[in-house]
Amino acid sequence: MWPQLAMLAVQGSAVWAVFTRYRRSPSLIRMPWLLLGLAVLMQVLWAGTNLLATELGDKSGYLAALATVLSGLYVIPCMFMVTRSFALNEPRAVAVLDLVLSCMVAVLVYQFFTKMLSGPLASDPSSIYVVVYLADAIDFSLAIMAMLRLFGGRSFRWRFFYYAASAYLLVNATVATIYNRIEMHGLPWWAGSLIDIPHALLVVVALRQPPRWLRAYRPSLAVSQTIASFAPILLSMMVVMLGISASRINFVLSLLVGCAAVLFYGLRMAFIQSRNMDRQRAVDLSTWRLEQQVGRDPLTGIANRTTLDTRLREALEEGHRTGSHCSVLMVDIDFFKQYNDSLGHIAGDACLIQVAGALSRSRVRVHDLVARYGGEEFAIVLVDTSAEAAQEVARRLIDTIERLQIAHPACPLGRITVSVGIATQTPQTPMDPVAVLDEADRALYRAKSNGRNRYELAMRTAFDPPAVLPGAG
């Protein structure tokens, strides 16, 4: 009895060491330590139940059954901690599916062990070998998965956890393999102390400073993300593997769990994909909003100089490619300095907003662009528009602004008016944006000199042969 009590004490220390590490860890990494603690606790309870069964003489077989249940329960936290991706943004449903799959592993292990070790199959001498091999396969699979996670740990704390878990699981698997082989031929007196080794090791690993190589080792982001995304499939694989192993015992159950494993994995991916799509949509929307803000003038809300430069270049290139005209109107509020001086800058801002709104509303087509060029000056890009059509637009704009009836005490007309300069790129005279704006600006200057509240064509545009209008000739 004393060796068993000593074993329980060592196992109890391992539980204590793991929970100590759990308390010291930041909240993000606590979950896996808790799972490891629960797994070791199951081992303690399993060993304690076995001890009780030996001491009390378990005639009813309840304690033996409880020990088998506990060995099955041990698998749940183990599977959970080595196969979860522990991603922060993972949907809750995914954690539920993983838990259900881990429970399925435990149920299958329990079913398999009880069926093989009791009832008609128990009399078959090969049954014990099958059980032992399956137990070894499960133990080593857990250890290998933990090692895989160790090499994909995204931060030092995660690597440290998987380092402790893989050390424990690997030594546990090795010890269990040796122990089970010895047990088949009768246990020598020292065999019990083998079981202490993984737990004693866990106490040391969990409480001591981690080795230096663990700090030095840093996997790339791609490696750690790939391993974290890959790990969950191992859970489904384990269920399928156990299902195949149990197919001789219960074919229908094996088939069902195999299908469930594949289905659950598919569902899991669907949940994650849907969450990612939601996030992508949100990112796209905020990018679009940001782009809108960057390209907008904060006072008037219409396009700013940046947008104008881009769109004007595109419109001129498009016009050159398709052999169509492209016109630019430069619109400037008359005597705006006097307006500001007499009514103040706040009234000036309100006037700019009103004029910008009126220009935007009266633009010809959706492809056209109204932008604030700077100060009280606006630029309008009219795609596929000849000089004649641009003059018509200019006439209409001047009329529209006049009809706004914005009172201007320091202006001869008594209300706000605008002057317009027009420049046009024809198919015969391709121009760059700077040249078009410069020509439109010169034309605007002439409109101002010739009395304001009017438009003028750029010299080059005026002397170009008139474009053939539809229906003309």
From 376, 377, 402, 456, active-site residue: 376
Q: Of 75, 85, 132, 86, nearest to 109 (Cα)? A: 75
Q: How far is the CB of 330 from ligand GTP (least distance, A)?
A: 11
CB of 345 to ligand GTP, least distance (A): 4
Nearer of residues 415 and 448 to ligand GTP, judged by Cβ: 448
Binding site for ligand GTP (CB under 6 A): 299, 332-338, 340, 345, 348-349, 352, 375-376, 448
| Nearest CB to ligand GTP, comparing residues 296 and 448 | 448
Distances (CA, A) of 24 to 80, 128, 161: 21, 42, 12
471 Ramachandran zone, left/alpha/beta (phi>0; psi -120 to 50)? left
Nearer of residues 127 and 340 to ligand GTP, judged by Cβ:
340
Q: Least distance (Å) from ligand GTP to the CB of residue 393? A: 20
Q: How many CB atoms lie within 10 A of CB 238?
A: 26
DSSP string, 63-118: HHHHHHHHHHHHHHHHHHHHH----TT--HHHHHHHHHHHHHHHHHHHHHHHHHHS
C-alpha–C-alpha distance, residues 453 and 416, integer Å = 9
Question: Of 374 and 466, which has the nearer Cβ to ligand GTP?
Answer: 374
392 is catalytic: no
Nearer residue to ligand GTP within complex by CB, 224 or 417? 417
* Minimum gap (Å) between residue 443 Cβ and ligand GTP: 14
Q: Are 362 and 370 spatial neighbours (Cβ–Cβ below 8 Å)? A: no
Smallest distance, ligand GTP to C-beta of residue 378, A: 11
Comparing CB distances to ligand GTP, the nearer of 32 and 348 is 348
The torsion angles phi and psi of 198, rounded to 5 degrees, stand at: -60, -35
As measured in angstroms, the least distance from the Cβ of 306 to ligand GTP is 17
Q: Is 42 or 352 the residue whose CB approaches ligand GTP more closely?
A: 352
Identify the bridge partners of residue 369 per DSSP, sorted by sequence position. Answer: 381
Q: How many helices (H) and strands (E) does the chain have?
A: 17, 5
Residue type, 79: M
If one counts every other C-beta atom within 10 angstroms of the C-beta of residue 270, the result is: 12
Task: Mark out the alpha helices in 185-250 (DSSP H runs).
Answer: 191-194, 196-207, 212-216, 221-245
- Closest Cα partner for 58 from 71, 47, 49? 49
Give the residue at shortest CB distance from ligand GTP: 348
For ligand GTP, the closer CB: 109 or 333: 333
Q: How many CB atoms lie within 10 A of CB 319?
A: 22
Residue 454: CB minimum distance to ligand GTP, A: 12
Instruction: Please give the Cα distance from 313 to 304 (Å, whole number).
Output: 14
CA nearest neighbour of 235 among 82, 29, 72, 95: 82
Query: In whole angstroms, how close is the CB of 90 to ligand GTP at the nearest point?
Result: 49
Q: What is the spatial distance between Cα 213 and Cα 194, in angstroms, rounded to a whole number? A: 28
Helix axes 221-245, 125-151, angle to 10 degrees: 170
Q: Which residues have C-beta within 8 Å of that of residue 448, sequence separation ≥ 6? A: 332, 334, 419
Whether 224 and 218 have beta carbons less than 8 Å apart is answered as: no
Q: Pick between residue 142 and residue 351 the one whose CB is nearest to ligand GTP.
A: 351
Q: CB of 402: closest distance to ligand GTP in angstroms?
A: 15
Q: Tell me which residues are annotated as active site.
A: 376
